[in-house]
Amino acid sequence: MISKVLALCWLVIHSVSVYAQAEKFKCPCSTIGLADSWADSAGVSCYLIPVSRDAFNKSAGNFKLAVAVASPLSVTKEEPLLYLHGGPGIATLGNLPNYLKSATWKQIRETRSLVFFDYRGTGYSEPSLCPDLDDSLKRVADKLSPEQLNSHRNELLKKCRIKHLSEGIDIATFSSFQSAEDAENIRASLEIESWNVYGVSHGTTVALNLLRNHEKRIQSMILDSPFPPNAPWLDFVRPFAVSFEVLEKKLSEDETVSTHFASIRKDFVKAVEQLNKTPYKIAINDSGATYPFTGNDFAWSIWTALLKPASIPFVPLAIKEAASGNTNFLSKWVVAFNNPNAFGKFSEHQSKAILCYEGRPKNEADSKAALQKAYPDFTAFNIDFESDLCNAWQPKSAGQKLFEPVTSTVPVLVLSGEYDPVCPPLFGELTAKTLSRSTFINVPAASHAAIHVDDSIREIAITFLSNPSAKVEIACVGKRSKIVFLKSDLENALSDLQKNKRN
């Protein structure tokens, strides 16, 4: 009996000690951009947690990363879940109030705490990269040609990189690998024995690096719209081509719809060419100022619309109308599915640091010329690799080891949306192939971030997290309704959409 009491006392003391370890990193939530009153009412605790500046050089010092933990909504013994955001370059915590209101995170939070953080160099996490560079460029923007402005920007980036290095900030330490090491540092500082991990888009690249190097601390993982280290494509052209082929296939399966949109690809090419030749003038404000909306802009707006199941039904009709010269809808179109704050505050310098390190073309097939020849219909997405910028800002390239497929025995649920123009289902299949306890689901009528598409997919994810070793039941996936494409009255449909958003 005495031994049991002593054991219980030790457990209580140990728990207090563990709690105290995390307490020393605690900070007012206003310190990391969240209102203290909101955080208190929402059950959110905030931290500034030190992480090694360089995982390979512990003497290089630390950065402090902004971390928020949302407590579970009910009494639970289930392990926490780490959320890894997409990007790179996108901060997480600025959008935390919206995340916690969403159906997905409300349900997952019911039985477990959720851990969020801003990646190094984004949001409220250190360091602030080249904070004065954008203002310097604005001061000379109207005095230089585009080529001169690019050259000046690259020179400023080079000077900034050298200055940062003298401050102990090495741009070479910005990578998916280092982001994963930061996450592991956060886990240890919060005294979490093991956790579950959810990653979306670029966050899956970080998650897979975490799995590669710290799988013993991971109970389960959900990879949503994965971009694995061994992804075959680093461009926008080929993923969009796959997504467009899915669109064409779905249109061909319905006789009435296929007749209505019989030449969707030709219409897309025609619309882009026409608008590049004669851009549509969109009013910026009441002063009469306008913005020239080009064919390339239109192509990227189609890409944006394909990201969300709610906007996919509008895509074929928008293409057909634009090809026919009926462009009046574009003023409503450009705002209907475009929310610049939807994903969080963006750090271009952090994004470029990672993309320059990990995104250099690997072979001739990745070159702009090769993609132009192979995909002449989608030239708008054929963005040349910014070699001059990268040579100035992040001249180093990742070694081949970073791109090797990840192997693991941790249970993993892999979700892909069949329309995804960023991370097509091919990437999900490739990810699952080397994970021996993985379940891959290509979600019909879904796109990027497929977990949010409906209650059935959320329930699959929640059930998986509660019992990751059990067989994943996916019968409901095949019962999902198909996309119903709009065939007429696009302007009124866009107006109704805007009214619904306001209400």
Query: Minimal CA–CA distance to 323: which of 273, 282, 280, 279?
Result: 273
Residue 340 has pLDDT above 80, yes or no: no
How much is the pTM? 0.93
How far is Cα 315 from Cα 172, in angstroms, rounded to an integer?
40
Q: In terms of DSSP H, where are the helices of 329-437?
A: 330-336, 348-358, 368-374, 387-393, 425-433
Residue 342 has pLDDT above 90, yes or no: no
Backbone angles phi, psi at 379, to 5 degrees: -65, -25
How are beta strands 114-117 and 280-283 bridged, if at all?
unpaired
Residue 250 has pLDDT above 60, yes or no: yes
How far is Cα 93 from Cα 72, in angstroms, rounded to an integer?
18
83-117 confidence digits (pLDDT tens): 999 989 999 999 999 999 999 999 999 999 999 99
Backbone angles phi, psi at 443, to 5 degrees: -80, 120
DSSP 8-state class, residue 477: G
22-48 confidence digits (pLDDT tens): 889 999 999 999 999 999 999 999 999
